[in-house]
Amino acid sequence: MAQISSAAREILVEEKDEPVGVAAVGLPKSIPMSESEVTTQPAISLQRKRPHGPDLSVPERKKKPPASDVTIDLTTLPDTKYYFENGLRKVEPYHFTWTTYAKGRWVGRMIEEVFLEEFFSVNEEVTKARVHADPCNVFVNGIRSNVQHKIKNSDYIAHYMHRHEMPVTAEPIKIIAETDDMLVVDKPASIPVHPCGRFRMNSVTFILAVEFGRTGLRIAHRLDRLTSGLLIFTKNIAASQGIHVQMEDRSVRKEYIARVAGEFPAEQIVCSEPIDCVNIRAGVYQVRASGKHSVTSFDRLSFDPESNTSIVHCKPRTGRTHQIRVHLQHIGYPIVNDPFYGAKSTFTGKDAAVEYGKDDALGPAFADECQKQLFTKCTTLPDRPWIDPKCPECWLDFADPKPEDMRIDLHAWKYEGPGWKFATELPFWAKDVTVLPADDPAPLCGDNPAPLCGDNPAPSTVKTPPLLW
């Protein structure tokens, strides 16, 4: 593992746009270490000190920038550190300020109601305990308030709390390629690409900043947390805009490997069913006539009769959320260990999943299923330096998640665009595949459109700017 340089220790951390609509502010500034301290500290250790409390400044509200302009710019690391235990990467709990502007659907509702419904913690009981643990640490427009405050339009809400992150695999992130314009890595399963939910320091962007000193990165595409494989970052706006146009123009060919339940047919299957989001809070998608056009082709690589599973080569021709997982479920060969769409999932894909805000029973069910972590209640507080007696989660003893609960057997294998191509090694569960698919002879959409381009075989009218690598 790479040692942290003094420059890396001093970089600022300011997450401007987390997926749930919150931003992190008010992080304590780092304290420089002496030379003797540096030589004795572990590679990812940061000097600890008492938290300074929340930053109550209200930033100017700006229009959300295009995806290609969003950077993960990190300047002060939070007052915490990683540690490794039982094959897992863990983060010592730390004080943190959640902030967000009021959403339209929140106006007229109490903060307590919104917290319980949309900012789900370990389970419903712990979520309620956290909301009421220290209600004085809720601020609206920089002024101390309480959870009974009725939200108004443009309110800026801050919640100062003791944050506990879920562990992820200790498997290292591998750098596949790097140039002046891009960084390509092999992401292990269980690590989210960017901060979300109960993950922040345990995200690819933070790990790259802390352990590799890579900051100012732009995410070219995303992978689900439980998915492993190839992940591309760009380092400047020109490269970012170039690859985003290529993605939109469907001139990027993507190839995935999946392990599915059952004996997959020997002939190719192409699924072109539309996909729609049926529950915003749970993040559940389903084949629906009202959805967006989606096309994925599947080819069997091998079949294991003993486990009754098949290794399948997947080529998504469009880029919808959960596309491969939803299409495999729809055609009857779900990914074996997918908690959302797998063979043992509570959601079959044919359920009449309710829309958000009507009967949101799916939300807590999926939150428990996909971020589950067993725990027991403590009668006395553990003797740990980071303990906060007011924090409900500090009174819980969390069990380590099982390895099989930290991944799904879906791997991003190859990405190819005009003038560039990258690939990872096969995942361990597909190492026995002896016959690999040949490189696709069909031209890329952006070069010379062909039927492979999905629903738009006509020549592209979008001019793709040249990438810099």
| Kind plus residue range of the DSSP H or E element containing 262 | none
In 107-178 the beta strands, taken as DSSP E runs, fall at 138-140, 143-144, 156-163, 168-169, 174-178
φ and ψ at 39, to 5 degrees?
A: -70, -25
Alpha carbons 435 and 334: distance in angstroms, whole number:
22
Cross-strand bridge partners of residue 110: 150
Helix, strand, coil percentages in the chain from 3-state DSSP, rounded to 5: 20, 25, 55
Which token pair is 72? 């993960």
Tokens standing for 362?
Answer: 């799916």
Burial class (CB in 10 A: 0-12, 13-18, 19+), 17: middle
Q: What is the C-alpha separation between 109 and 332, in angstroms, rounded?
A: 42
90 contacts 81 by C-beta, under 8 angstroms: no
Inter-residue contact 69 to 361 (CB < 8 Å):
no
Q: Is the dihedral of CA 310, 313, 315, 319 positive or negative?
A: positive
Distance of alpha carbon 354 from alpha carbon 278, whole angstroms: 6
CA pair distance 175, 91, nearest whole angstrom: 22
- The sign one gets for the Cα dihedral 332, 334, 336, 339 is negative
Handedness of CA 96, 99, 105, 111 (dihedral sign): positive
Give the dihedral sign, CA 173/41/13/128.
positive
CA dihedral of 116, 226, 313, 282, whole degrees rounded to 10: 0
Q: Is 180 a catalytic residue?
A: no
In angstroms, the Cα distances linking 110 to 47, 117, 131, 157 are: 38, 11, 12, 12
Q: DSSP letter at 335? A: B
Measured distance CA(383)–CA(82) in Å, rounded:
18
Per the structure block, which two tokens stand in for 411?
Answer: 């791997």
- CB atoms < 10 A from the CB of 104, how many? 6
Q: Which of 186, 224, 338, 409 is catalytic?
A: 224
Q: How far is the C-alpha of 450 from the C-alpha of 444, rounded, in Å?
A: 8
Coil/strand/helix, residue 83: strand
Give the active site residues.
224
